[in-house]
Amino acid sequence: GDSVTQMEGPVTLSEEAFLTINCTYTATGYPSLFWYVQYPGEGLQLLLKATKADDKGSNKGFEATYRKETTSFHLEKGSVQVSDSAVYFCALSARDDKIIFGKGTRLHILP
């Protein structure tokens, strides 16, 4: 069945470091891909999305490119801030009835 695999955390970086969180997926057809973020004490929020191959989603300095050939949707940010500390979930939607999430990656940014 459809699934999402993302790198295990926690990931700890210093402020202004470059961030990559890897995500790969398995799906039939052509899913939409998402990154959700969960800040401490808050609910899940959509961070960015891409709906077809080679699309790049971007928001708040984060980017991810839909790579069909490698079935990947890696999250990147050039210079992280302490306020980026959160749990990040990669997800896909292959049909209109549900979104499938990865296990989440906890990110700690040190000042």
The residue ranges that bind other proteins (CB under 8 A) are 4, 32, 34, 41-46, 49, 51, 89, 91, 93, 95-104
CB atoms within 10 A of CB 99: 16
Rank residues 47 and 111 by Cβ distance to other proteins and give the closer one.
Answer: 47
Q: What is the chain written as a DSSP string?
A: --EEEE--S-EEEETT--EEE-EEEE-SS--EEEEEEE-TTS--EEEEEE-STT-EEEETTEEEE-BTTTTB--EEESS--GGG-EEEEEEEEEETTEEEE---EEEEEE-
Beta carbon of residue 89, minimum distance to other proteins (angstroms, whole number): 5
Looking at the Cβ atoms of 69 and 97, the one nearer to other proteins is: 97
Cβ 86 to other proteins, closest distance in Å?
13
Supply the minimum distance, in Å, between the C-beta of residue 1 and other proteins: 9
The residue (of 68 and 103) whose beta carbon lies closer to other proteins is 103
Is 15 or 108 the residue whose CB approaches other proteins more closely?
108
